């Protein structure tokens, strides 16, 4: 449920007469941690004035054409650095110019070799589902206030053709600072969803998370409860719009959004329905332990390494539970991670001691699900390695039964991952390489269920 990014850039002054063996396209595989690999693609060209410029693709993270910062190339050695992410590289260009071998420094040093590739053979993967204008429906950029004071959310409302009033769904993203499209690994799931729903008669409001893109607020200080205040503000905003049916508004939450949406439904009687994509239904510590083990196993990590990692995670989670003072917690976490190099350790300490992590580790979503009595659609991907269906689907169904809720539909979709893409392994590093953003059967399940629940077509 977390992501990292690489950002690099090249720029230097060279005389046109100089030999430039670094010009061209290069590919390398970075292995920043056991069981983790990231394909990087570097493009270097020379301007008419003799300067080098370039861009980087972090292929497995879906980031393409990332502009670069600084470079020097002298006596066969290529050096570049990026201050804003504290990354640098130094490598030797091989005789003949077929490879650049060196080390990337970022949270430690990592061996990295770039090999020359034909530029004509490399391209950003297609995203065939991403809608392109002109659209056959209105799409309105707007702002609205959170229920929390001082936070203004920026978003986009898509409306079906016609006057309405239309049923509407508010889209709540997963973990991390997300934009309104939930852009991840080159995909825009919420843009695809909103387009699909507008064409099926359902309005959709998607918005930038607080502190992300054009929304205000402090993301780093927020927990899932704070994000529920933002989503509740979206509900009040839609209820006041004449194009929206005030009694046919619900939420669609993905991943952490599947925690947030039930929070609002439990405290507001005017929420009409919930769609939960890859929702969790057990405490966050259990989610993270299972996630790390599943991803490590799928990536081929040895049993001993996975066991050692689990023991460290359990120790850290216990520190979070038993150390209420933030400064004391940071000191204890730093001591527990003393085997890590300093930049990496500092980043981990900050993350583990954050308000979000403190809340997520201890929060049990089932306590709220036991109060939900409105229609619920829950979708799980059988290849999801981040929110495991075997761990979460049964307790979700049990909690909703305990609420006396007979309006529940659950689907475990074969061959789909955490993003509900058709996948081979379910590993996060696979997300960017898959052309589809959301499997069409998942889109049709959501749209069909919403149409029936909102009264746009009869129930079977």
69-94 mean pLDDT: 75
Whether residues 231 and 368 share a domain: the answer is yes
46-74 mean pLDDT: 67
Whether residues 321 and 176 share a domain: the answer is no
16: confidence class by pLDDT, cuts 50, 70, 90: very low
**Which one, of 254, 221, 248, 224, lies nearest residue 235 by Cα?**
248
Residue 10 above 60 pLDDT? no
How far is Cα 248 from Cα 263, in angstroms, rounded to an integer?
18
Whether residues 46 and 31 share a domain: the answer is yes
Boundary (domain end) residue, out of 361, 394, 410: 361
Angstrom CA distances, 239 to 171, 232, 339, 385, stand at 15, 11, 53, 37
User: With 0-12 CB in 10 A as exposed, 13-18 as middle and 19+ as buried, what is 59?
Assistant: buried
Residue 4 above 50 pLDDT? no
DSSP 3-state assignment of 92? strand
Whether residues 173 and 247 share a domain: the answer is yes
343-371 mean pLDDT: 91
Minimum mean pLDDT range among 120-129, 171-180, 388-397, 410-419: 120-129
User: Distance between the two ends of the chain, CA-based, in angstroms?
Assistant: 36
> What is the CA 263 to chain-centroid distance, rounded?
21
Higher pLDDT, 174 or 33: 174
Within the chain, what is the greatest distance between any pair of CA atoms? 78
Boundary (domain end) residue, out of 307, 328, 361: 361
Whether residues 238 and 257 share a domain: the answer is yes
**pLDDT in the model for residue 51:** 59
Residue 180 above 70 pLDDT? yes
**pLDDT in the model for residue 45:** 67
147-175 mean pLDDT: 96
Strand partners, 53: 11, 45
> What is the CA 326 to chain-centroid distance, rounded?
27
How far is Cα 272 from Cα 251, in angstroms, rounded to an integer?
8
Boundary (domain end) residue, out of 340, 361, 382: 361
- Assess if residue 127 is contained within a domain: no
CATH number for the domain spanning 221: value is 3.40.50.1820
How far is Cα 91 from Cα 111, in angstroms, rounded to an integer?
10
**pLDDT in the model for residue 218:** 95
DSSP 3-state assignment of 158? strand
CATH number for the domain spanning 59: value is 2.40.128.20
Whether residues 245 and 152 share a domain: the answer is yes
Whether residues 148 and 116 share a domain: the answer is no
Percentage above 90 pLDDT, the chain: 63
How far is Cα 438 from Cα 420, in angstroms, rounded to an integer?
5
Per mean pLDDT, which of 24-38, 339-353, 437-451 is the most reliable? 437-451
Whether residues 376 and 347 share a domain: the answer is no
Domain enclosing residue 19, as ranges: 11-121
**The pair of three-digit structure tokens given for residue 46, joined into one six-digit string:** 């020379």
Angstrom CA distances, 149 to 13, 178, 181, 233, 359, stand at 50, 20, 24, 10, 21
Whether residues 313 and 217 share a domain: the answer is no
Higher pLDDT, 21 or 39: 39
17: confidence class by pLDDT, cuts 50, 70, 90: very low
**pLDDT in the model for residue 20:** 64
How far is Cα 79 from Cα 111, in angstroms, rounded to an integer?
14
Strand partners, 416: 422
Higher pLDDT, 56 or 456: 456
- Assess if residue 134 is contained within a domain: no
- Assess if residue 96 is contained within a domain: yes
- Assess if residue 248 is contained within a domain: yes
Minimum mean pLDDT range among 147-161, 350-364, 399-413: 350-364
How far is Cα 199 from Cα 78, in angstroms, rounded to an integer?
51
Residue 271 above 90 pLDDT? yes
> What is the CA 341 to chain-centroid distance, rounded?
26
Whether residues 303 and 447 share a domain: the answer is no
277: confidence class by pLDDT, cuts 50, 70, 90: very high
Q: Which residues touch 128 (CB under 8 Å, ≥6 apart)?
A: 435, 436
- Total domains in the chain come to 3
pLDDT digits (tens, 9 = 90+) for 294-329: 988 988 888 998 999 999 999 999 999 999 999 999
- Assess if residue 129 is contained within a domain: no
How far is Cα 169 from Cα 252, in angstroms, rounded to an integer?
6
**The pair of three-digit structure tokens given for residue 439, joined into one six-digit string:** 């499997």
**pLDDT in the model for residue 53:** 62
Whether residues 73 and 146 share a domain: the answer is no
Whether residues 374 and 419 share a domain: the answer is yes
**pLDDT in the model for residue 186:** 79
**pLDDT in the model for residue 49:** 46
**pLDDT in the model for residue 70:** 72
- Assess if residue 4 is contained within a domain: no
pLDDT digits (tens, 9 = 90+) for 415-424: 999 999 999 9
Give me the chain's average pLDDT, please: 88
- Assess if residue 128 is contained within a domain: no
**pLDDT in the model for residue 36:** 77
Contact in structure between 102 and 89 (CB atoms under 8 Å): yes
DSSP letter, residue 59? G
- Assess if residue 63 is contained within a domain: yes
């Amino acid at each position: 449920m977390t992501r990292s990014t690489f950002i690099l850039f090249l720029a230097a002054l060279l005389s046109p007469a100089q030999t430039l063996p670094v010009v061209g396209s290069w590919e390398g595989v970075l292995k920043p941690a056991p069981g983790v690999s990231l394909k990087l693609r570097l493009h270097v060209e020379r301007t008419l004035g003799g300067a080098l410029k370039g861009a980087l693709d972090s292929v497995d993270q879906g980031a393409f054409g990332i502009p670069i910062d600084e470079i020097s190339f002298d006596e066969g050695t290529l050096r570049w650095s990026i201050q804003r992410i504290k990354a640098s590289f130094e490598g030797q260009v091989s005789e003949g110019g077929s490879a650049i071998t060196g080390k990337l420094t970022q949270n430690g040093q990592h061996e990295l070799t770039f090999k020359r590739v034909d530029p004509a053979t490399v391209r950003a993967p297609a995203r065939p589902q991403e809608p392109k204008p002109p659209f056959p429906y209105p799409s309105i950029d707007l702002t609205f206030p959170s229920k929390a004071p001082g936070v203004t959310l920026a978003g986009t409302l898509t409306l079906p053709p016609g006057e309405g009033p239309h049923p509407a769904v508010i889209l709540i993203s997963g973990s991390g600072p997300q934009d309104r499209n939930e852009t991840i690994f080159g995909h825009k799931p919420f843009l695809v969803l909103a387009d699909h729903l507008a064409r099926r008669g359902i309005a959709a409001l998607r918005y930038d998370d607080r502190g992300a893109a054009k929304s205000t607020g402090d993301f780093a200080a927020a927990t899932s409860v704070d994000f529920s205040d933002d989503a509740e503000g979206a509900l009040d905003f839609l209820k006041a719009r004449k194009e929206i049916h005030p009694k046919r508004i619900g939420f669609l939450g993905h991943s952490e959004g599947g925690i947030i949406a039930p929070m609002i439904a439990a405290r507001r009687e005017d929420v009409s329905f919930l769609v939960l994509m890859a929702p969790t239904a057990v405490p966050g510590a259990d989610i993270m332990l299972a996630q790390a083990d599943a991803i490590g196993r799928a990536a081929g990590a040895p049993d001993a390494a996975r066991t050692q990692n689990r023991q460290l995670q359990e120790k850290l989670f216990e520190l979070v539970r038993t150390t209420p003072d933030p400064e004391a917690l940071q000191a204890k976490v730093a001591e527990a991670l003393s085997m890590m190099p300093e930049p990496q350790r500092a980043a981990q300490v900050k993350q583990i001691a954050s308000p979000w992590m403190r809340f997520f580790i201890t929060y049990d979503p089932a306590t709220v699900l036991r109060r939900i009595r409105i229609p619920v659609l829950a979708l799980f991907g059988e290849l999801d390695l981040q929110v495991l269906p075997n761990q979460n689907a049964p307790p979700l169904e049990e909690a909703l039964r305990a609420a006396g809720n007979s309006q529940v539909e659950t689907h475990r979709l074969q061959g789909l991952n955490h993003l509900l893409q058709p996948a081979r392994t379910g590993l996060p590093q696979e997300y960017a390489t898959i052309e589809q953003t959301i499997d069409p059967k998942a889109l049709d399940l959501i749209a069909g269920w919403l149409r029936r629940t909102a009264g746009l077509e009869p129930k079977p």
